[in-house]
Amino acid sequence: MVQFFKKTNFNFIKYSKLAITISIVFVLVSIAFIFVHRGLNFSVDFAGGTLVQVKFDKPVKDDLGKIRTIVNNLGLGSPEVKTIGVAANNELQITVAKQENEETNVANVIRDAFSKDYKENGFEIRRVESVGPKIGGELKRDALIATILSLIAILIYVGFRFNLPFGVASVVPLFHDVLITVGVFIIFDLEISLTFIAAILTIVGYSLNDTIVIFDRIRENMRGGLRGRNFAELVNSSINQTLSRTVNTAMTTFFVVGSLYFLGSEAIKDFALAMMVGVVAGTYSTIYIASPILLWWNNKKPIAK
């Protein structure tokens, strides 16, 4: 039998204060980075504006300067031009901030400019996303509502299935996971888009799943074999008992989001990256944050249910 953990008895609870300190420091650092990058990097979904993805026949690496000059002279402000994809180097993403004159058809303007001033390279416009500022604001609001609502719904569900301390102890780590994932995106100045929000809510689901499995074991042990023991010991043994499962599921999930990140299409890469961060954060928070909160709430005494 292959087994990574044979009857372990790691003292997880002992390190929980250190772990929480590390998390708090990380969140503070990522908040500091908001100022470094002058705000969050919202995609056109949220900020409004137009994104045009252009694929050229030949690599454009050496012509980037020329392309930027062309794009900057279109009266569209100073759009951001960056290469996307890994290997070919012939695909560009041009992001135009929201325009005062919304009637302008940005994709057409760019198409005309390239066919006139950059004739040496054939191209195809593969994707256009244009979002008005009003919609952007609504999407932002909806995303926030969705995240908060799911946290409330979870608090109610867990509070009902277990009890209030378990509910609170399962929701706090979710805030942690969301903050850590957003933090990584802030520090590396990655784009916060609609798919990122989907990733955040999936992380919430995943991390909670993880927490519930351990809480379930704690509840079972309170009723059964380990009744009457010191609650800290009980929590610690429960974490150890479920450790194999925690690690194995994290691994299989990490395998698939990893292959999605390295092999999936451009539009899904940020989703996969957020998920990778989230799976690590979710696993870590279950062990080092959820269980200690439960413990402190109960003042190291077993709670009856």
Please give the residues from 266 up to 285 whose contact with other proteins meets the rule CB under 8 A. 267-268, 271-272, 275
Q: In the structure encoding, which two tokens stand for residue 246, read together?
A: 């925690």
Contact between 150 and other proteins by CB under 8 A: the answer reads: yes
The site string for other proteins over 6-25 (x = CB under 8 A, - otherwise) reads -x------------------
| Residues 187, 183: Cα–Cα separation, whole Å | 6
| Residues 98, 117: Cα–Cα separation, whole Å | 24
Tell me how far, at minimum, the Cβ of 186 lies from other proteins, in Å. 22
Neighbour-count burial of 175, counting CB atoms closer than 10 A to its CB (0-12 exposed, 13-18 middle, 19+ buried): middle
The site string for other proteins over 57-96 (x = CB under 8 A, - otherwise) reads ----------------------------------------
Tell me how far, at minimum, the Cβ of 255 lies from other proteins, in Å. 4
Using CB under 8 A, count the residues that bind other proteins.
75
Tell me how far, at minimum, the Cβ of 194 lies from other proteins, in Å. 6
Site for other proteins in 215-274 (CB under 8 A): 216-217, 220, 241-242, 244-245, 248-249, 251-260, 262-265, 267-268, 271-272
Report the b/e string of 90-100 with b at 16+ CB within 10 A: bbbbbbbebbe
Among the listed residues 277, 292, 293, the one whose alpha carbon sits nearest the alpha carbon of residue 15: 292
Q: According to CB under 8 A, which one of 115, 145, 223, 300 is a site residue for other proteins? A: 145
Q: According to CB under 8 A, which one of 14, 17, 66, 126 is a site residue for other proteins? A: 126
Tell me how far, at minimum, the Cβ of 1 lies from other proteins, in Å. 7
**E-assigned strands of 10-69?**
49-56
Q: Which is it for strands 49-56 and 80-83: parallel, antiparallel or unpaired?
A: unpaired
Query: What residues contact 108, with CB distance under 8 A and at least 6 apart?
Result: none
Q: According to CB under 8 A, which one of 34, 74, 125, 303 is a site residue for other proteins? A: 125
The answer to whether 59 and 144 are in contact (CB under 8 A) is no
Q: Based on CB atoms, which residue is closest to other proteins, 187 or 243?
A: 243
